[in-house]
């Protein structure tokens, strides 16, 4: 019964998040209509579509508490990051090339890949090296958030054109019919906007309300994950890594696919990369900061060895998979041949990742050597931190 109820709650939460993101996309499309070089995808799209990860991590931390809650937050963020870097670009490629047959290859500016890819790799390395203490305080959270501020500032100073984009002009279709009927259809844009034309003030209202609805849905998402974990006998961070991560990545996927089908290929890819940077820096940093300041207590990560091993090895897996995906994107962008084969390869990599996660869950003997290697690499990187205490 717990499994069925948990899956039902997760499914309903996903639907609400999905529909709320339609409103968010309308608002962000208007506000970012003049941004170039993937900046809209890396900022407005990435931040808004990453609200589920932020809220989910916070609720995990509050509901599960301390190390277990934060480990679940890391599970959500890591799983979501892998989903973003693999499934979102694959969905973009398959939607544009295979399903809609708009182009034979997607062309993305290689400079966008380098800019956001390097920033993402640095964010993951900082997560591993510096946020690895047995006791985490608001200072660790503030450090992560400061990394995102530096990244956003870099977008201002690193100017990149729209090479690769086939941008169509932004258009908002005004609603028809009453607001109540739109609300019953979960058509958030028209429920809030009515039959009015889009402008800046209405776009901001729509953006804020959409994000708030996503946050509310995430509370139920965490509840559903708890029920599912109890029913299946899985640890919370494994449920978070697979189910919560995929569910919270629904907005990123929808927004990227829509951007790509509108010809904004740079925004579609930079949304996936920028979302991961936001997830690592803000979706972990902000809940950590708020929780420790509110409670006046640090988060003690010296719990069970399984939790520490989980956090360590999956951060390294995230680092390796991100690097592999970046190579696929960059090589495809340089050759202007980011095609269907790349999409299928990314999906295969994600399937392997889920297979590894399930094998970890059931303690498969064959994966023990891999776990030891990943944990050793994690420990080596942690040793590079001059402030780390063994």
d(CA 114, CA 125): 16
- Say yes or no to pLDDT of 348 above 90: yes
d(CA 29, CA 33): 6
- Kindly state whether residue 388 falls inside one of the protein's structural domains: no
- Kindly state whether residue 46 falls inside one of the protein's structural domains: yes
Alpha-carbon separation of residue 282 from 47, 73, 119, 120, 221 (angstroms) = 9, 12, 14, 13, 19
Summarize the confidence of residues 61-85 as an average pLDDT: 71
Segment among 8-17, 33-42, 184-193, 378-387 with least mean pLDDT: 33-42
Structure tokens at 324: 């592999």
Neighbours of 368 (CB within 10 A): 10
- Kindly state whether residue 390 falls inside one of the protein's structural domains: no
Band of residue 346 on the pLDDT scale cut at 50, 70, 90: very high
Summary count for the chain: helices (H), strands (E): 18, 2
- Say yes or no to pLDDT of 170 above 70: no
- Say yes or no to pLDDT of 69 above 70: no
- Kindly state whether residue 178 falls inside one of the protein's structural domains: yes
For 90-111, what is each residue's pLDDT tens digit? Answer: 988 888 888 877 778 888 888 8
Which pLDDT belongs to residue 296? 80
Band of residue 324 on the pLDDT scale cut at 50, 70, 90: very high
Which pLDDT belongs to residue 39? 67
d(CA 49, CA 63): 23
Which pLDDT belongs to residue 165? 53
Count of structural domains, the chain? 1
Which pLDDT belongs to residue 131? 67
Write the CB contacts of 4 (distance below 8 Å, at least 6 apart in sequence).
231
- Kindly state whether residue 389 falls inside one of the protein's structural domains: no
Mean pLDDT value across the chain: 78
| DSSP secondary structure code for residue 106 in this structure | B
Cα 164–166–169 angle (5° rounding)? 140
d(CA 139, CA 119): 21
Segment among 21-25, 201-205, 260-264, 386-390 with least mean pLDDT: 386-390
- Say yes or no to pLDDT of 302 above 60: no
Band of residue 164 on the pLDDT scale cut at 50, 70, 90: low
d(CA 135, CA 126): 16
Q: What are the backbone angles phi and psi of residue 162, rounded to the nearest 5°?
A: -95, 30
- Kindly state whether residue 233 falls inside one of the protein's structural domains: yes
Domain of 54, CATH number, reads 1.20.1420.30
d(CA 219, CA 239): 15
d(CA 280, CA 297): 22
Q: Which domain holds residue 43?
A: 2-383
């Amino acid at each position: 019964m717990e499994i069925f109820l948990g899956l039902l709650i997760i499914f309903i939460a996903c639907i609400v998040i999905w529909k709320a993101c339609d409103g968010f996309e309308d608002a962000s499309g208007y506000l970012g209509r003049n941004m170039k070089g993937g900046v809209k995808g890396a900022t407005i799209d990435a931040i808004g579509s990453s609200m589920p990860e932020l809220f989910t991590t916070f609720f995990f931390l509050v509901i599960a508490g301390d190390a277990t809650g934060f480990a679940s937050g890391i599970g959500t963020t890591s799983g979501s990051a892998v989903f973003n870097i693999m499934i979102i670009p694959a969905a973009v490629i398959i939607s544009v090339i295979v399903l809609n047959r708009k182009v034979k290859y997607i062309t993305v500016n290689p400079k966008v890949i380098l800019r956001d890819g390097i920033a993402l790799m640095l964010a993951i390395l900082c997560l591993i090296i510096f946020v690895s203490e047995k006791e985490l305080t608001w200072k660790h959270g503030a450090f992560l958030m400061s990394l995102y501020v530096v990244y956003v500032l870099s977008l201002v100073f690193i100017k990149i054109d729209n090479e690769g984009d086939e941008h169509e002009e932004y258009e908002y279709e005004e609603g028809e019919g009453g607001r109540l009927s739109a609300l019953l259809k979960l058509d958030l844009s028209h429920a809030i906007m009515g039959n009015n034309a889009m402008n800046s003030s209405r776009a901001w209202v729509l953006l804020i309300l959409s994000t708030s609805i996503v946050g509310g849905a995430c509370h139920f998402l965490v509840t559903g994950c708890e029920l599912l974990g109890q029913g299946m006998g899985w640890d919370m961070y494994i449920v978070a890594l697979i189910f919560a991560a995929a569910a919270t990545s629904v907005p990123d996927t929808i927004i990227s696919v829509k951007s790509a089908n509108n010809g904004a290929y740079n925004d579609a890819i930079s949304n996936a990369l920028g979302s991961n940077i936001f997830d690592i820096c803000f979706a972990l940093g902000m809940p950590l900061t708020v929780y420790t300041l509110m409670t006046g207590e640090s988060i003690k990560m010296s719990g069970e060895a399984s939790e520490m091993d989980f956090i360590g090895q999956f951060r390294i897996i995230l680092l390796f998979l991100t690097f592999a995906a970046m190579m696929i994107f960059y090589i495809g962008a340089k050759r202007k041949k980011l095609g269907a084969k790349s999409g299928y390869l990314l999906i295969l990599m994600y399937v392997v990742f889920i297979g590894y996660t399930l094998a970890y869950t059931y303690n498969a003997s064959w994966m023990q050597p891999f776990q030891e290697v990943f944990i050793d690499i994690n420990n080596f990187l942690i040793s590079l931190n001059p402030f780390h205490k063994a």
